Amino acid sequence: MDTCNVFDNKEMNIVIVGHVDHGKSTVIGRLLADTNSLPQGKLDQIKALCRRTDKPFEYAFLLDALKDERAQGITIDTARCFFKTEKRKYIIIDAPGHIEFLKNMITGASRAEAALLVIDAHEGIMENSRRHGYMLSMLGIRQVVVLVNKLDLVPAEDRQRVYEEIVAEYSAFLQNVEIIPQHFIPISAVEGYNIAAKSEELPWYDGITVLEALDAFKEIADGDDHAFRMWVQDVYKFTNSRDERRIIAGTVSAGRLHVGDEVMFLPSGKKTKVHSIEGFNEPEQTSVSTGKATGFCMTEQIYAKRGELCCKIGEQPPRTGSLVKTSIFWLGKEPLDTEKVYKIKIGSAAVGMRVEKILGVLNASTLENSEKQTVERHEVAQCLLHFERPLAFDLSGQCADTSRFVIVDDYEIAGGGIITDVEEDEELEKKLIRRNVKWIQSSMTPHERESYYRQQAQLIILTGNIQIDKKEIARKLEKKLLEHGKIAYYLGIGNVLYGVNSDIKSDDSMNSPEERNEHIRRLGEVANILLDAGNILIVTANELIPDELDTLRQIIRTDNIRTVWVGVDNRRAADFDFYYPVPSKSIADELAQKLFCI
């Protein structure tokens, strides 16, 4: 009989947590042994190893595979083990209980949909019994079963009382962290009470076994009915292999996406439509659902980049902003530093971040709050964080993938958290979203306009060292294009500064960062209109840096943009499409040749 057909549904990831030495690894080892889930000979191999090294046999050694773990009788790092019942496949994640390895516990628990929490009846509820309970709540794991272990060590007549005391006390704690356990089960991992089969030793208990509790966990709904969210993980164009598709790649975090859907990228606010859903070695798809690693092509080639959040027009939009209220847990070896610039990563977005204010620090075990202004390793805190650039995200409780972040210190992930609130701000992104939504459409599509003019609108940005004359190159290029029947226009930034920008133009405008940004924004808006009109537009400005080019790309709706740097600056060679260290008379001709074959 093929018993595995039922396995066509999803596997389930279960984590086992609790205080050090309370018997987590032993529970799993015993479960594997009692259900005949071990590879042949494995148990004997461990028994032989224990004899050879003169150690008492431990079921935990089935999981604690590292030499150091066996030597110290402790789990150091999370182990995955594969297990199946009649009902489904499981990956069981055995987490360490020692406080030193909290980062490893979180690594394991973050992958789980449900948790077993082990408490040693003999020792009682300990610091990490509580801390792990709190972490489960923070990690969003709501399905929890509590195992009261080592009842073999308690005299038979006291067992029920000891068990019930733990149930009462621990339920109260879990309630404070918003977890209602599905079951409490009295067990002995070493003796096998209530693991895979009901035990006669605990006659006063008439609930389910650990094995039954696993099968009773519910699969979490797939999220297809949420608003669509997908982080842009990358944008592919494999031109070298003669593939002209430009594919926005990512994994669907929530909702569904269909061909023809109108989508927006945030925070940039750019809009387009889904032209096709791309795949390889699979039947053509017209829609994709939550969890799928996918990619799509757009009808209008806009500039979208990694770190943007793609959502659907007409659905609940994500939030954007740079000042957010968060709950974080800290794993860094050094305390959280309010002076330091960290990096925050949320989905595929990564940006510099500063801690604006520590609002409160919580001891995750005692649940005591304090006003102190430092967050030490393993503490939990409410903080106000300030991102260097606005990002798009959701608030916690809506979509896990878009509301959770990690904090990176130098090279290491040093903490994690969830966004609970945001101070909305009026940034470029907001302006652009509004502009795009309010944009008055012509009856002519960009595509039709292209066929009238027999050219594609294109922006050529000529920049470079201040001493170098770029205007002359631009004029020559404009002339050459016009002579060849193109519709071209040269716009120097000066033409905008004293006109459109006259309200903010000061003597030293281009050297003050704030004013410079606004000048560039306006240049971008003017260019956007000229490009929408179908022109080939040549723009000159001094010493534009990559961030400023990004701003222009963000504002301008076509992605048909070429950048040219003139003058010696080796760093620029990689940032620009064309790099001419030495100005020469032939640059305009070369550009005309390379860009337009004329």
Partner 1 sequence: MMTHLDNLESKSIHILREAYNRFGNLCMLWSIGKDSTVLLALARKAFFGHVPFPLVHIDTHYKIPEMIEYRDRLAREWKLDMVYGENADALAQKKTFPDGNCTRIECCKNLKTEALRCTLSGEWPRYRMNHDTGLYERDENTEPYTGVILGIRADEEGSRSKERYFSPRDKNNDWDIGDQPPEFWGQYKTDFKPGTHIRIHPLLDWTELDVWEYIRRENVPVVPLYFNQGDGKRYRSLGCWPCTSPVESEATNIDEIIEELKTGKFANIAERSGREQDKEDGGGLEELRKDGYM
**What residues numbered 91-130 form the site for ligand GTP, per CB under 6 A?**
96-98
**Could you please report the per-residue DSSP string of 191-219?**
TTBTSSS--TT-TT--S--HHHHHHHSPP
Assess 73 for contact with partner 1 (CB under 8 A): no
Judged by CB under 8 A, does residue 236 bind partner 1?
A: yes
- Rounded Cα distance between 41 and 422, Å, is 56
112 binds, among Mg ion, ligand GTP, partner 1, none (CB under 5 to 8 A by kind): none
Indicate whether 192 belongs to the interface with ligand GTP (CB under 6 A): no
Q: Which positions from 32 through 61 interact with partner 1, judged by CB under 8 A?
A: 36, 38-40, 42, 49, 52-53
- Which is closer to partner 1, CB of 205 or CB of 330? 330
Q: Out of 58, 261, 356, 589, point to the residue binding ligand GTP (CB under 6 A).
A: 58
DSSP state, residue 260: T
* Strand pairing report for 287-288 and 342-346: unpaired
Burial of residue 336, with CB atoms counted within 10 A of its CB: 0-12 exposed, 13-18 middle, 19 or more buried: buried
Is residue 293 at the binding interface for partner 1, with CB under 8 A as the rule? yes
Residue among 593, 592, 597, 542 at smallest CA distance from 567: 542
The least distance separating partner 1 from the CB of residue 280, rounded to whole angstroms, comes to 5
Of 41-49, 129-137, 150-158, 380-388, the window that binds ligand GTP (rule: CB under 6 A) is 150-158
Binding mask 451-480 for partner 1 (x = CB under 8 A): ------------------------------
Span from 85-93, 182-190, 218-226, 241-249 in contact with ligand GTP (CB under 6 A): 182-190
User: Look-up: residue for tokens 């979180």?
Assistant: 106
The least CB distance from residue 174 to Mg ion, in Å, is: 22
Rounded to an integer, what distance in angstroms lies between the CA atom of residue 108 and that of residue 98? 14
Pairing between β-strand 79-84 and β-strand 293-298 as defined by DSSP bridges: unpaired
Options 37, 107, 149, 268; binder of ligand GTP; rule CB under 6 A: 149
Q: How far is the CB of 364 from ligand GTP (least distance, A)?
A: 17
Q: Does 218 bind partner 1 (CB under 8 A)?
A: no
Q: Which does 535 bind (CB under 5 to 8 A by kind): partner 1, Mg ion, ligand GTP, none?
A: none
Label the pairing between strands 114-120 and 12-18.
parallel
Of 25 and 199, the one with the shorter C-beta distance to Mg ion is 25
- Is residue 75 involved in binding ligand GTP (CB under 6 A)? yes
Mark out the alpha helices in 126-177 (DSSP H runs).
127-138, 159-176
Site string for partner 1, 342-361 (x = CB under 8 A): -x-x-xx-------------
Half-sphere exposure (Cβ direction) of 442: Cα atoms closer than 13 Å: 10
**Residue from 440, 382, 397 nearest 137 by CA:** 397
- What one-character DSSP code corresponds to residue 130? H
Query: Which range in 149-157, 204-212, 298-306, 469-477 contacts ligand GTP by CB under 6 A?
Result: 149-157
554 near partner 1, rule: CB under 8 A: no
For residue 574, the number of C-alpha atoms closer than 13 Å in the C-beta half-sphere is: 2
Binding mask 18-37 for ligand GTP (x = CB under 6 A): x-xxxxxxx-----------
Token output for 34: 């009692």
Can you tell me which of 189, 227, 331, 536 binds ligand GTP, judged by CB under 6 A? 189
Task: Check binding of 98 to partner 1 (CB under 8 A).
Answer: no
CA–CA gap between residue 573 and residue 595 (Å, rounded): 18
Instruction: For residues 312 and 273, give the distance between their C-alpha atoms in angstroms, rounded to a whole number.
Output: 9
User: 267: cis peptide before it, omega within 30°?
Assistant: yes
DSSP assigned state of 178: T
Residue 21 binds: one of Mg ion, ligand GTP, partner 1, none (C-beta under 5 to 8 A by kind): ligand GTP
| Interface characters, 524-553, with ligand GTP (x: CB under 6 A) | ------------------------------
Token pair of 407 as six digits? 């904090």
Per rule CB under 5 A, is residue 26 in the interface with Mg ion?
no
Residues within window 488-507 making contact with partner 1, judged by CB under 8 A = none
By the rule CB under 6 A, 209 interacts with ligand GTP: no
Q: How far apart are CA 180 and CA 163, in angstroms?
A: 17
Q: Is 331 helix (H, G, I), strand (E, B) or coil?
A: coil
Query: Is residue 135 near ligand GTP by the rule CB under 6 A?
Result: no
Q: Using CA atoms, how far apart are residues 362 and 528, in angstroms rounded to an integer?
A: 50
Min CB(231)–partner 1 separation in Å: 9
Member of 37, 75, 294, 396 binding Mg ion (CB under 5 A)? 75
Q: Is 383 in the site for ligand GTP (CB under 6 A)?
A: no
SS3 362: strand
Among 152, 409, 478, 548, binds ligand GTP (CB under 6 A): 152
What is the C-alpha to C-alpha distance for residues 336 and 375, in angstroms, rounded to an integer? 5
How far apart are CB 19 and ligand GTP at their closest, in Å?
A: 7
Q: How far apart are CA 148 and CA 505, in angstroms?
A: 73
Give residues in contact with ligand GTP (CB under 6 A): 18, 20-26, 58, 60, 73-75, 96-98, 149-150, 152-153, 188-190
